[in-house]
Amino acid sequence: MLSFEEAYQLVMHEIHEVSAERVNMMDSVGRILAEDIISDMDMPPFDKSAVDGYACSMSDTGNELELTGTLPAGKIPEYGITPGTCIKIMTGAMMPRGADCVIMVEDTLLTGENKIRFTKKETSRNICYQGEDIKAGEVVMSKGILLRPQHIAVLATVGAVNPKVSARVEVGILSTGDELVEPEHIPPPSMIRNSNAYQLLAQVSSAGMIGRYAGIATDEKSVLAALLSDSLDRNDVVLLTGGVSMGDFDRVPEVMEELDIDILFKKIAVQPGKPTVFGRRGNQFVFGLPGNPVSSFVLFEVLVKPFLLGMMGCTQKPVIIRLPAGADLKRKNLSRKSFIPVTISDGQVFSIEYHGSAHINAYTLADGIIAIEAGKTGLEKGEIADVRLI
């Protein structure tokens, strides 16, 4: 049985990056950037006014100024500023020759026809200077980042309208067990609804990958083998839930071996999620996750998701914030590393009522997960915890 850290390093070592493709920038949100984006121009591309006001010489702000014209945004100035004059200028307009500041409209007084006076003692320059935000040739976004809406403005700004992004990892999802029925059915006695597959489909989709539901495999080996083989044929990675523990009908590892999948580990010293299996066949991978929904949810977040993102070349790490415990947090089983759901309130971390690895509805209240290392009883009030946001 591996420690979580050993399992994580082994899994991440097996990453095989997928191909890349060019897409329209409006289709790139949620994708992983597969190239550096380099600006083709300075931004701003010229000195421009930061406010609506009057362009003039800073040395003239103590004098009455003659208004010689109006300059809208998008127009090249036809003439410049001379001593004792100013030009009315709109936000974003190119600065006229000879002007080195813009006094704001609200800080001026009309003193006569085409005459103004500055009413304050001092003014800022109120100019956005050429290249102060971005310089031509500068890398504005680096390969490996997850593109979000704020990145689209930058892509548009530098003309990168067809960025190269990593292909979406294709993930097959297969549930196992004679006890499962699909969610639209009322389960008869001794059976339950299949929730894990749909949870994993949602996790895969929200992480920017393509999820394909492969159905429910019964405990019959031939059925499991056929569904797993078919899912491997159509995907880069397959996630199975259930059938990985020590029961008489837990046949996932056996079937994986019969399909020539090299099993790299079968157990991890974590709670929940101990009976987690990971295997490889060429450049295809299989994760056998426990059947309890909390186990599959947590192991996806802390192990599978980083692997899948790594396949797409993602360099960003999960968001982890350090906060103090708002109350004592204790646990009974000290033998394994534990992942525990928590809420955040008033800048502090609090545990949630949590009954174990079948209690998935506890996670509907959770803001994040904290890890308690093996041998540690928990957290004392005020002790700092690393909270992995979910």
Answer whether 0.75 is exceeded by the pTM: yes
The pLDDT of residue 230? 95
CB within 8 Å of 194: residues ≥ 6 apart:
175, 180, 181, 182, 183, 216
Q: Write out pLDDT tens, residues 20-56.
A: 999 999 999 999 999 999 999 999 999 999 999 999 9
Pairing type for strands 337-345 and 270-271 reads: parallel
Handedness of CA 248, 251, 257, 258 (dihedral sign): positive
Residue type at position 155: L
pLDDT tens per residue, the chain (390 residues)? Answer: 899 999 999 999 999 999 999 999 999 999 999 999 999 999 999 999 999 999 999 999 999 999 999 999 999 999 999 999 999 999 999 999 999 999 999 999 999 999 999 999 999 999 999 999 999 999 999 999 999 999 999 999 999 999 999 999 999 999 998 899 999 999 999 898 999 999 999 999 999 999 999 999 988 889 999 999 999 999 999 999 987 765 554 688 889 999 999 999 999 999 999 999 999 999 999 999 998 899 999 999 999 999 999 999 999 899 999 999 999 998 888 889 999 999 999 999 999 888 877 788 889 999 999 999 999 999 999 999 999 999
3 CB-contact burial (10 Å; exposed 0-12 / middle 13-18 / buried 19+)? middle
Sequence-distant contacts of 153-158: CB under 8 A, at least 24 apart: 154/37, 155/25, 155/28, 155/37, 156/25, 157/39, 157/43, 158/37, 158/38, 158/39, 158/40, 158/41, 158/43, 158/134
The pLDDT of residue 249? 47
Pull the structure tokens for residue 59: 């040395």
Alpha-carbon separation of residue 234 from 64, 171, 230, 284, 322 (angstroms): 77, 9, 7, 10, 41
Alpha helices of the chain — where are they, by DSSP H?
Answer: 4-13, 149-157, 196-206, 221-234, 252-258, 293-299, 305-311
Beta carbons of 274 and 357 less than 8 angstroms apart = no
Cα dihedral 376/380/384/389 (nearest 10): 80
What domains lie within the chain, and their CATH numbers? 4-17+168-311 (3.40.980.10), 21-42+142-166 (3.90.105.10), 48-128 (2.170.190.11), 320-389 (2.40.340.10)
Handedness of CA 242, 247, 249, 252 (dihedral sign): positive
Q: Write out pLDDT tens, residues 243-255.
A: 776 555 468 888 9
